[in-house]
Structure 1
Amino acid sequence: MAIHKSLSLAFLLFFLPFLSSSHATISSATAGLPEAEALLKWKASLSPAQVLHSWSLPATNASTNTVSPCKWTGISCNSLGSVTEISLPSAGLQGKLDNLSFPSFPNLIHLNLSGNTLIGTIPAHIGTLYKLMSLDLSANSISGSIPLDIGNLVNLNELDLSINHLDASIPSTLGNLSNLSILYLDQNRISGSIPPQIGNLKDLVQLSLFQNNLTGPIPPALGSIPSTLGNLSNLSILYLHQNRISGSIPPQIGNLKDLVQLSLFQNNLTGPIPPALGNLRNLTLLLVYRNQISGSIPPQFGNLTNLDNLDLSNNSLTVLFLRNSGI
Structure 2
Amino acid sequence: MFKYIIILIFASFSSSHVANSASFVTSPTATTEGQEVEGLLKWQTSLDNQNRSIFSSWVGNSPCNWSGIACNEFRSVIHINLTDSGLKGTLHALSFSFFPNLLGLNLSNNSLYGTIPSFLGNLSKLIYLDLSCNQLFGRIPSEIGLMRALRIVYLFENNINESIPYEIGMLSSLNDLALFKNNLTGSVPASIGSLGKFIHSFYLITMDFLERSPQDIGMRKISKRA
> What secondary structure, in the 3-state scheme, does the structure 1 residue paired with 2:210 have?
strand
Superposed CA offset, 1:24-60 (max 9, x none): xxxxx9xx7100001001111111113121112xx2x
The residue type paired with residue 187 of structure 1 is: K
Distance 1:147 1:53, change over 3 A: same
Residue 213 of structure 2: aligned partner: 218
Asked if 1:152 corresponds to 2:146, the answer is yes
**Which of 174, 185, 209 matches 1:180?**
174
Deviation at 1:211, TM superposition (A): 4.7
Cα deviation digits, residues 198-223 of structure 1 (max 9, x gap):
1111213465664553131314244x
Residue 93, structure 1, aligned to residue 87, structure 2: yes
The verdict on how the C-alpha distance between 1:112 and 1:205 changes in structure 2, with shifts beyond 3 A counting, is: farther
Does 2:61 align with 1:55? no
Instruction: Report the Cα offset of residue 263 of structure 1.
Output: 2.3
Aligned twin of 1:80: 74
**TM-score (norm: length of structure 2):** 0.79
Q: Which has the higher contact order (CA 8 A, sep 6+)?
A: 2
**Pairing 1:41–2:39 present:** no
Measured against aligned partners, the alpha-carbon deviations of 1:97-129 in whole angstroms (never above 9, x if no partner) come to 222111111110000000000011110010010
| Number of aligned residues | 193
Matches within 5 A, 1:249-288: 255-256=220-221, 262-265=223-226
Q: What does 1:5-16 align with in structure 2 at a 5 Å threshold?
A: none
Secondary structure, in 3 states, of the residue corresponding to 2:37?
A: helix
Report the secondary structure of 1:213's partner residue.
coil
Q: In the alignment, is the contact (CA less than 8 A) between 1:182 and 1:205 conserved in 2?
A: no
CA contact 1:35–1:105 (8 Å) conserved in 2: yes
Note if 1:171 corresponds to 2:171.
no
Q: Mean Cα displacement is larger for which, 194-203 or 112-121?
A: 194-203
CA contact (8 A) 1:126 1:149 kept: yes
* CA shift for structure 1 position 78: 1.2
- Could you say if the C-alpha distance between residues 33 and 210 of structure 1 is closer, same or farther in structure 2, counting changes exceeding 3 Å? farther
Displacement after TM superposition at 1:84 (Å): 0.4
Is residue 119 from structure 1 mapped to residue 87 from structure 2 by the alignment?
A: no
Structure 2: 5+ residue runs without aligned partners?
Answer: 1-29
Q: Is the 8 A contact 1:183 1:206 kept in 2?
A: no
Structure 1 residues 104, 208: closer, same or farther in 2, change over 3 A? farther
Shift of 1:81: 1.2
Cα RMSD, aligned residues only:
2.1
Q: TM-score, normalised by structure 1?
A: 0.56
User: Superposed, which structure 2 residues align to 1:103-142 within 5 Å?
Assistant: 103-142=97-136
DSSP 3-state at the match of 1:118 = strand
1:216 to 1:148, Cα distance in 2 relative to 1, 3 A: same
Please state whether the residue corresponding to 1:142 is helix, strand or coil.
Answer: strand
CA contact (8 A) 1:127 1:153 kept: yes
Partner of 1:314: none
Q: Map Cα deviations across residues 278-316 of structure 1 (whole Å, 9 max, x no partner).
A: xxxxxxxxxxxxxxxxxxxxxxxxxxxxxxxxxxxxxxx
- Give the partner amino acid of 1:43: Q
| Offset, 1:79 | 1.4
The percent identity for this pair of structures is 42
Is 2:30 aligned against 1:69? no
2:4 maps to none
Does the 8 A contact of 2:204 with 2:224 survive in 1?
A: no
Secondary structure of residue in 2 paired with 1:146:
coil
